[in-house]
Amino acid sequence: MENGTMPMMGQKVPEMEVVTTHGKKKLPHDYKGKWLVLFSHPGDFTPVCTTEFVSFQRHYEEFRKLNTELLGHSVDQVFAHIKWTEWIGENLDTEIEFPIIADDRGIVADKLGLIHPEKGSNTVRGVFLIDPDGVFRAILYYPQEIGRNMDEIVRMIRAFQTSDKNGVAVPANWPNNEIIKDEVIIPPAADVETAKKRTGQEGCFDWWFCHKKL
């Protein structure tokens, strides 16, 4: 992946050493065997970003139960990160426990396509869901003016783990889908014989749309 280009799902995270509030870290090596939510924010000491960091921290235990770590990022210096997280702890009664990348030279932002010129010179609200093998599985970009929904990010991690473990797909709004509720979708038939067996089968709307409970 070349600098200045946006990463794509299925690509490996580029190897890089980063400075964080918890010391230097090597990506993706230091997170091998774990899921990682790498997320960028436009800037320290800004209102929407502050609400996001509090929310990420308050969901941190949910992420850890899913073998998932959090890693923040912006183009601020590490001193600003430290002072900002101190402010959050003192004023909002929330201690930020996960590290934040200090990318004041913009190297990480460049590699991950986090500066969108039409949205200003700060990083956009990028979210990268990275699997235990260091592969980008999902990539989300939010504009500076809209904060993220942490419940959805938790849901996506849980959905990926369910899909990978069971070889299934998950429906819209899972596990509260309007049609099949908390059930999952079986891969469509790939041959005529299987399609015929599934036609009229319990748990199948048709041969190409079958579901089951895990």
pLDDT at 121: 58
Of the two residues 137 and 6, the one the predictor is more confident about is 137
Rounded to an integer, what distance in angstroms lies between the CA atom of residue 15 and that of residue 22? 18
pLDDT tens for 171-214 read: 999 999 999 999 999 999 999 999 999 988 999 999 999 999 99
More confident residue, 153 or 104: 153
Active site residue 210: no
Give the tokens for residue 65. Answer: 């139960």
Tell me the pLDDT tens digit for each residue of 89-146.
999 999 999 999 999 988 998 899 887 665 555 677 899 999 999 999 999 998 888 9
Domains 16-148 and 167-214 share a fold: no
Average pLDDT across the chain, whole number: 93
Q: With a cut of 70, say whether residue 2 has pLDDT above it.
A: no
Catalytic-role residue among 18, 49, 114, 157: 49
Its sign, for the CA torsion 36, 63, 32, 80, is: positive
State the burial class of residue 78 (Cβ atoms within 10 Å of its Cβ: 0-12, 13-18, 19+).
middle
d(CA 112, CA 102): 14
- What is the rounded radius of gyration, in angstroms, for the C-alpha atoms of the chain? 20
- The third-level CATH classification (topology) of the domain covering 167-214 is Antioxidant, Horf6; Chain A, domain 2 (3.30.1020)
Tell whether the model's pLDDT for residue 25 goes beyond 80.
yes
Task: Give me the CATH topology for the region 16-148.
Answer: Glutaredoxin (3.40.30)
Is the whole model's pTM more than 0.75, yes or no?
yes
Per cent of the chain over pLDDT 70 is 94
Domain ranges of the chain: 16-148, 167-214
One-letter identity of residue 203:
G
| Residue-level pLDDT at 145 | 87
